[in-house]
Chain A
Amino acid sequence: MKSIEDLKKIREATLEAVCPREGNAVRVVVGMATCGIAAGARPVLAACEDEVGKRGLSNVTVTQTGCIGVCRLEPIVEVYVPGEEKVTYVKMTEEKARRVVGEHIAGRRIVTELTIGAAE
């Protein structure tokens, strides 16, 4: 890393993967701070990765992230689809995670009953 130019290059190369702005790229993040992990986020992350792999979905990144904020509803999975508001899934389990991958990511249908608004 020598210059601001080098920094820009990394920035541009990564940005598309982190927040896809167009196309059919999807980003899935799992809250993996202490609170999420304590609530069982590790197997949820593994299930997301596994299900995406099994279904052979391309253009989907599954990654961990820090505390999303709503500790009460952990484990939390969020799905980012370009041009749409992100979708927040709460109180996730391995089975629910597989369902979200199948219905929302593969099928492009939000699993409304697993989202934050349905948890109340």
Chain B
Amino acid sequence: MEPVKPHTHDETVTSLNNTDFYKHQLRVALRNCGVINPESIDEYIAFDGYSALARALTEQTPAEIVEIVLKSGLRGRGGAGFPTGRKWQFAADAQNDVKYVACNADEGDPGAFMDRSVLEGDPHSVIEAMVIAGYAVGAHQGYIYVRAEYPIAVERLNIAIRQAKEYGFLGDNIFGTGFAFDLEIRLGAGAFVCGEETALITSIEGNRGEPRPRPPFPAVKGLFGKPTLLNNVETYANIPWILQNGWEKFAAIGTEKSKGTKIFALGGKIRNTGLVEVPIGTTLRTVVEEVGGGCPGGKKFKAAQTGGPSGGCIPAAHIDIPIDYESLSSIGSMMGSGGLIIMDEDNCMVDIARYFLDFTVDESCGKCTPCRIGTKRLCQLLDKITGGSGTMEDVELLEELCAHISNNSLCALGQTAPNPVLSTLRYFRDEYEAHVIDKKCPAGVCKGLLQYGINDKCTGCTACVRVCPTGAISGKVKEKHVIDPAKCIKCNACMEKCRFNAIVKG
């Protein structure tokens, strides 16, 4: 029976399900999020939870499960988009008496909270998937690596693991089949680099989280030197759904090469900030304008940043691009793990690049020189440009340095760190030039290039004089005022105060 609309007095939308925000969404990985009580294993079971595991253990062979995951077309949701089935195949094929399964819940991307939401809203889906993965690849021990900054996620995971043990979904002889699997949580201290798979493994082993060269890949030589299957939280959350509904149904969602859905943490200059899950291949326009409701205050959409500090921007000219792995990388951006930051006309793209570089400088582990020193130098060059003393040689040097860092860094943190610079240079070169040649920040963001002034609309009301913290404004009552640039600290207080639009910046 179709749900009927409840009786209301007018046409107000009373249900989230009927909002534009929700209409384009499809919840696969988030199927139980916001529906069930995450601390109740019975509610998870009521929504078919653990039935995929039961069937897998009692009716399917490990090889059959790997085959289903392969055919589903699921790709890793942690950023790189590697086919999950192939990874499972590698781990299953590895010859060793001990193997491990691990879950990457480090989520270090600034502004991203997809994995946290899955763990807080539906922790059993990840646990169920990891037991299935253990059976499929021949592992009996799993680890979930989650940052200590996610206390609620950790608490709910602990509750869920305890419940799963009580019910016999973890431990020995699961469903009476003789298969044994155990799961432990490992807390990370919140370093971005610990999301990189080899650094994560090193960290679980109890050492300082630094990457090591690959190969060998974790599926061959991972945790404690043993073959290890490592997947992202969202990747795992899809697994029980695929096994319950069949790979065909999953493969029917998405595009030819990118199947299923993707969760995005929508943020920045967008009306509906929040957590959204859409079929892969949905256009950026749909996500920004319909799901997101556009930029607030009627401002113009300028660009979207995906992939956080490793990603790139998608300019407004490409707003009709389908969001999938191939399309995004073809224009110099990437799918990333799901951070989606929207920027409007008030954002300066050089400043955005500088922001991300500032982040990578902090987060570089320091093990290799191109990343440790290169990102620092990139950031200094960007500081120089946004500060107003950049030259065109600096812009050339930026590009040269970007190539050097990408080509010579040990891990993907360094290899991808130049991306925000490269993609803003590609699409917003004119903004770099405006900073360097005209000494202007077109968006009015970079303080080093701003000048405040007062135009003829000034009525001499003296409102600005009273808010200026540095006494930079002077003038007689009812006469046009002036700002002393030597005293002005560009705090914007006068601009906000003036009722006559008389304060100008540029």
* Residue A33 at the chain B interface, CB threshold 8 Å: yes
| Cα of A31 to Cα of B275 in the assembled complex, Å | 13
A3-B176, A72-B273, A85-B15 known; A14+B46 contact, CB < 8 A:
yes
* Residue B8 at the chain A interface, CB threshold 8 Å: yes
* Residue B368 at the chain A interface, CB threshold 8 Å: no
Question: In the complex, what's the smallest C-beta–C-beta distance from B139 to chain A, in angstroms?
Answer: 21
Query: Which A residues lie within 8 Å of B39 (CB)?
Result: 64
Q: Which of A70, A83, A112 sits near B274, CB closer than 8 Å?
A: A70
| Cα of A19 to Cα of B48 in the assembled complex, Å | 13
* Residue B250 at the chain A interface, CB threshold 8 Å: no
Q: Which of B15, B25, B120, B168 sits near A67, CB closer than 8 Å?
A: B120
B 251-278 binary contact with A (CB < 8 Å = 1; else 0): 0000000000000000000011111100
Question: In the complex, what's the smallest C-beta–C-beta distance from B38 to chain A, in angstroms?
Answer: 5
Q: Which of B38, B45, B117 sits near A10, CB closer than 8 Å?
A: B45
Query: Which A residues lie within 8 Å of B4 (CB)?
Result: 83-85
Query: Which A residues lie within 8 Å of B42 (CB)?
Result: 10, 13-14
A 31-72 binary contact with B (CB < 8 Å = 1; else 0): 101110100000000000000000000000001111111111
* Residue B476 at the chain A interface, CB threshold 8 Å: no
Report whether A69 and B43 are in contact in the complex, using a CB–CB cutoff of 8 Å: no
* Residue B16 at the chain A interface, CB threshold 8 Å: yes
A35 to chain B: closest residue by CB = B113
Report whether A69 and B16 are in contact in the complex, using a CB–CB cutoff of 8 Å: yes
Report whether B117 and A67 are in contact in the complex, using a CB–CB cutoff of 8 Å: yes
Main SS of chain A's interface residues? mixed
| Cα of A84 to Cα of B19 in the assembled complex, Å | 16
A34-B113, A68-B16, A116-B16 known; A83+B34 contact, CB < 8 A:
no
Question: In the complex, what's the smallest C-beta–C-beta distance from A83 to chain B, in angstroms?
Answer: 6
* Residue B37 at the chain A interface, CB threshold 8 Å: yes
Report whether A1 and B6 are in contact in the complex, using a CB–CB cutoff of 8 Å: no
Most buried by A among B8, B39, B176: B8
Query: Which B residues lie within 8 Å of A65 (CB)?
Result: 33-38, 121
Report whether B176 and A2 are in contact in the complex, using a CB–CB cutoff of 8 Å: yes
Query: Which A residues lie within 8 Å of B17 (CB)?
Result: 85-86
B46 to chain A: closest residue by CB = A14
Question: In the complex, what's the smallest C-beta–C-beta distance from A53 to chain B, in angstroms?
Answer: 18
* Residue B224 at the chain A interface, CB threshold 8 Å: no
A69-B275, A116-B13 known; A85+B117 contact, CB < 8 A:
no
Name the interface size band of chain A.
35 or more
Report whether B169 and A1 are in contact in the complex, using a CB–CB cutoff of 8 Å: yes
| Cα of A110 to Cα of B30 in the assembled complex, Å | 27
Binding stretch for chain A, among B50-58, B140-148, B208-216, B279-287: B50-58
Query: Which B residues lie within 8 Å of A11 (CB)?
Result: 45-46, 48, 51
Query: Which A residues lie within 8 Å of B16 (CB)?
Result: 68-70, 78, 86, 88, 116
Query: Which B residues lie within 8 Å of A66 (CB)?
Result: 32-34, 36, 38, 117, 120-122
The interface size of chain B toward A, counting residues with CB under 8 Å, comes to 61
B44 to chain A: closest residue by CB = A14
Q: Which of B6, B48, B175, B271 sits near A87, CB closer than 8 Å?
A: B6
Query: Which A residues lie within 8 Å of B273 (CB)?
Result: 71-72
Report whether B35 and A29 are in contact in the complex, using a CB–CB cutoff of 8 Å: yes
Question: In the complex, what's the smallest C-beta–C-beta distance from A52 to chain B, in angstroms?
Answer: 16
* Residue B152 at the chain A interface, CB threshold 8 Å: yes
* Residue A23 at the chain B interface, CB threshold 8 Å: no
Report whether B8 and A110 are in contact in the complex, using a CB–CB cutoff of 8 Å: yes
B168 to chain A: closest residue by CB = A1
Question: In the complex, what's the smallest C-beta–C-beta distance from A110 to chain B, in angstroms?
Answer: 5
* Residue B82 at the chain A interface, CB threshold 8 Å: no
| Cα of A104 to Cα of B35 in the assembled complex, Å | 19
Q: Which of B14, B19, B117 sits near A112, CB closer than 8 Å?
A: B14
Q: Which of B3, B7, B113 sits near A110, CB closer than 8 Å?
A: B7
Report whether A37 and B152 are in contact in the complex, using a CB–CB cutoff of 8 Å: yes
| Cα of A33 to Cα of B117 in the assembled complex, Å | 7
A118 to chain B: closest residue by CB = B12
Q: Which of B19, B22, B50, B120 sits near A7, CB closer than 8 Å?
A: B50
Report whether B276 and A83 are in contact in the complex, using a CB–CB cutoff of 8 Å: no
Report whether A83 and B1 are in contact in the complex, using a CB–CB cutoff of 8 Å: yes
CB contacts under 8 Å to B, within A66-119, are: 66-72, 78, 81, 83-88, 110, 112-113, 115-118
Q: Could you list some 16 contacts between A and B, CB below 8 A?
A: A3-B54, A34-B150, A34-B153, A35-B113, A63-B40, A66-B32, A66-B38, A68-B34, A69-B276, A70-B16, A78-B34, A84-B5, A85-B3, A85-B6, A86-B16, A112-B9
Q: Give the interface of A toward B (CB within 8 A).
A: 1-4, 7, 10-11, 13-15, 17-19, 29, 31, 33-35, 37, 63-72, 78, 81, 83-88, 110, 112-113, 115-118
